[in-house]
Chain A
């Protein structure tokens, strides 16, 4: 299995992906690709399948059909090396999911030490570095419960960054935050995009998607309904996207 795809190959590609939960068809032939350094925003109504599509990339959901290739890993195959895949893919969740019994530093150093066999002192340096990236150096020795929601989410992003992933997935990472805390998390993600990180994000922040995404994928009833550059948010071609952005609050 090829681990390092050539620069021309997409980092993530989904082709005709099918997924059902029982009788409910959640993904009905979804295809899209993410190039190296690209920021892709998955948008759509609740239940449109965007979160499921994102979770399929990191194989938190198994697909029923179609092909998913992520950093050279054939994710749709049953014999995919999950741990190798997940070293290449970072994922950040809506509910942060920091480990409550560990300090922020321990949250960050756990995987590099346990998975990559990194020396403890080296991992601590790394923790300082990634925390600086998200503006939380002073919280190194704090426990998650001592942080605000926005700080916890930034710490979760730092934890993911410490594994030096080739692509980052964001699953509605600001949905549990108020506007002020949302802004501080979005600033961190913006900086990551500026640094050239490849990202796929499920978001309800239309203004943010418009500002940061290289490409928008609008999902509707388990299908990619409309896709294109961020400008499709201001000039949608399908009535569904028109209605969606019309009801969403489109901040500039």
Chain B
């Protein structure tokens, strides 16, 4: 038994691979931005004294964290369809991934909020800052800095998990691979290439988050110490 690999036969499909990789990155970018917003709102909501809002946020977070992503994707896909909403596979994928990563983001952000010492908030109140100003300057930005490594890992994980969206025929990297391997009968070669491409996408995302961190956290850039 000998292993024969024929990469050229697969690699000549490089435009498709590239298009798939680009779409995966695009999916991840949309879901990261929207999920970060949704998750932060859910974390804030969970911390409010309003039992209804706080309860709703808790139910959302627990429902998502205790069901498989694939099931969530199908629920959004078929759910929206049965409501008569005709949306593209890409839109459905972004919506499902946003809802998913939002729940994990909420838990990470909640940890960040809880790590802000009470004295910081009292000092800000003593300086007559408004509640919104305190939330922005004293709670949100330092909290994000504290949990930034956990957040970015979660968003990279989300990009990798987006391969499941091939199941609703969003034309992302894994869907493209499925298509190519059934066309060329070179499954092993195809998925080796896909694996390498996912590694490259991860590295691109990590580099992006590293650069964003330098802009967002000037103190860390100068001193290099965690908050």
> Which residues of A approach B to under 8 Å, CB–CB?
58, 60, 82-84, 86-87, 89-91, 93, 95, 97-103, 110-111, 114-115, 143, 145-146, 156, 159-160, 163
Contacts and interface: CB of A to CB of B under 8 A. Distances in A.
Contact of B127 (A60, A115, A143, A145): A115
A102 B145 CA distance: 12
A97 B127 contact: no
A159 B138 CA distance: 15
Given A87-B128, A101-B142, A60 B122 contact: yes
A167 to B, nearest CB: 12
Contacts of B217: 101
Nearest to B119: A97
A93 B119 contact: yes
Contacts of A82: 125, 128
Interface of B: 117, 119-120, 122-130, 133, 137-138, 141-142, 145, 217, 219, 222-223, 225, 227
B219 A143 contact: yes
B225 A97 contact: no
Contacts of B119: 93, 95, 97
A111 B127 contact: yes
Contacts of B137: 99, 110, 114
B129 A100 contact: no
Contacts of A93: 119, 122-123
A143 B222 contact: yes
Nearest to B220: A101
B17 to A, nearest CB: 42
In order of increasing CB-CB distance, the 7 nearest A-B pairs are A97-B123, A111-B127, A86-B128, A91-B126, A97-B119, A83-B128, A87-B128
Given A99-B123, A145-B225, A156-B123, 15 more contacts: A58-B126, A60-B125, A83-B130, A86-B126, A89-B126, A93-B123, A97-B119, A98-B123, A99-B120, A100-B219, A100-B227, A102-B219, A114-B130, A114-B137, A160-B126
B129 A143 contact: no
Nearest to A163: B127
Contacts, number: 71
Contacts of A60: 122, 125-126
A82 B145 CA distance: 29
B130 A90 contact: no
Contacts of B145: 101
Nearest to A108: B127
Contacts of B138: 99
28 contacts: A83-B128, A84-B128, A86-B126, A86-B127, A93-B122, A97-B119, A98-B123, A99-B120, A99-B123, A99-B137, A100-B142, A101-B141, A101-B142, A101-B145, A101-B217, A101-B227, A110-B127, A114-B129, A114-B133, A114-B137, A115-B127, A115-B128, A115-B129, A115-B130, A115-B133, A143-B219, A143-B223, A145-B225
B211 to A, nearest CB: 19
Contacts of A115: 127-130, 133
B126 A90 contact: yes
Nearest to B222: A143
Contacts of A160: 126-127
B128 to A, nearest CB: 4
A86 B138 CA distance: 17
A111 B227 contact: no
B128 A111 contact: yes
B120 to A, nearest CB: 6
Contacts of B225: 145
Contacts of B133: 114-115
B127 A159 contact: yes
A99 B223 CA distance: 15
